[in-house]
A = this chain, B = another copy of it.
Amino acid sequence: MKIGFIGVGVMGNGMVKNLLKHGYEVNAYTRTKAKAQEAIEAGAVWKESVADCVRDADAVITMVGFPPDVEEVYFGADGILENARTGVPVIDMTTTSPRLAERIFLEAQAKGLRALDAPVSGGDTGAREGTLSIMVGGERETFEACLPILEAMGKSVLYMGKAGSGQHTKMANQVAIAGTLAGVCEAVAYGRAVGLDTEAMLSAISGGAASSWQMLNNGPKMLREDYAPGFFIKHFVKDMTLADGEARLRELPLPVLEKVLAMFRALEAHGYGNEGTQALIRAYE
């Protein structure tokens, strides 16, 4: 079975390698060929365009950056909907808007294609180790048909409901992270301000009711001022902006999300967009 994989970057390389490891053939395309080097060396076949990448594929996966990129690879003249074979499942694993996921679903359907929205959580480590959490929206039948493909990349692959539900679940995930990460930052900032040994402090509070993935993984990075991106600020700003927009449309105030988003936007405006989300601690300095 041959998969056309579009968007081979920090996440995509690991995902492609796991597909190859599970016996899938993979066509690979991404804007900057050099970024796909790892996947190509592992056995993916490089293609020079989206159209070439999907033309002979039995399934299509996209993992690109921002909603406009998703629109281009799906709806462009050189895009997936114009060039994929009839009946093929097309799986967008980019985190994008639930609204866009619904549009892809409907337009794909009109072309005889079956779309899933399947954003992930677990970062580059999860992508490399094949332990991503994958949250899937679309028709259940399509989900079930694609399960083996998704399970090659993830450890938890869950059907969340109709088209857009995968994206909505990912939004909820990002909303939870926003508050949690800010809580960790404020605890670290507090510890510094009062003169605690912050390393001892973090290990004291990491075992109980304050514990979180964010604390265990990003807390120590904050302490050693390691801002290398596990997850880029610029991508988190994108995700939180989408979630904030969806909440506003429904007149649901999410004051903590709004506050955290404002802090991250300020960091991005100061040029920190390519740092990891743990750099939120800079907002407290």
Chain B positions within 8 Å of A121 at CB level: 205, 208-210
Interface residues of A in 163-196 (CB under 8 A from B): 165, 168-169, 171-191, 193-194, 196
One of B155, B191, B247, B284 near A190 (C-beta < 8 A): B247
Q: Which of A123, A168, A203: most chain B Cβ within 10 A?
A: A168
Q: Which residue of B lies closest to A188 (CB)?
A: B172
Q: Which residue in chain B gives the minimum CB-CB distance to A246?
A: B194
A224 to chain B: which residues have CB within 8 Å? none
Decide if B213 touches A213 in the complex (CB within 8 Å): no
Q: A171-B190, A183-B175, A204-B133 are in contact. Are A211 and B212 (CB under 8 A)?
A: yes
Take A209-B177, A213-B211 as given contacts and tell me if A168 and B183 are in contact as well, using a CB distance cutoff of 8 Å: no
Taking a contact as CB atoms under 8 Å apart, the answer to whether B196 and A172 are in contact is yes
**Distance between Cα atoms of A121 and B211 in the complex (Å):** 11
Whether B210 pairs with A176 at a CB distance below 8 angstroms is yes
Cβ of A39 to closest chain B Cβ, rounded Å: 23
Contact residues of A: prevailing secondary structure: helix
Q: Is A215 an interface residue (CB 8 A)?
A: yes
- Shortest beta-carbon distance, A20 to chain B, in Å? 24
Task: Say yes or no: is A42 at the interface (Cβ < 8 Å to chain B).
Answer: no
**B residues less than 8 Å from A201 (CB atoms):** 160, 168-169, 172
Expressed in whole angstroms, the Cα–Cα distance for A243 and B172 within the complex equals 28
| Partner-B contacts on A (CB < 8 A) | 98, 121-123, 126, 133, 135, 155-156, 158, 160-161, 165, 168-169, 171-191, 193-194, 196-197, 200-201, 203-205, 207-215, 217, 231, 243, 246-247, 250, 252-257, 259-260, 263, 284
Which are the 7 A-B pairs with shortest beta-carbon distances?
A179-B183, A212-B212, A176-B187, A176-B210, A121-B208, A173-B205, A172-B187
16 contacts between A and B (CB under 8 A): A172-B196, A172-B201, A173-B204, A173-B205, A173-B209, A175-B186, A177-B209, A178-B186, A179-B181, A179-B256, A180-B214, A189-B254, A190-B247, A193-B247, A208-B213, A209-B213
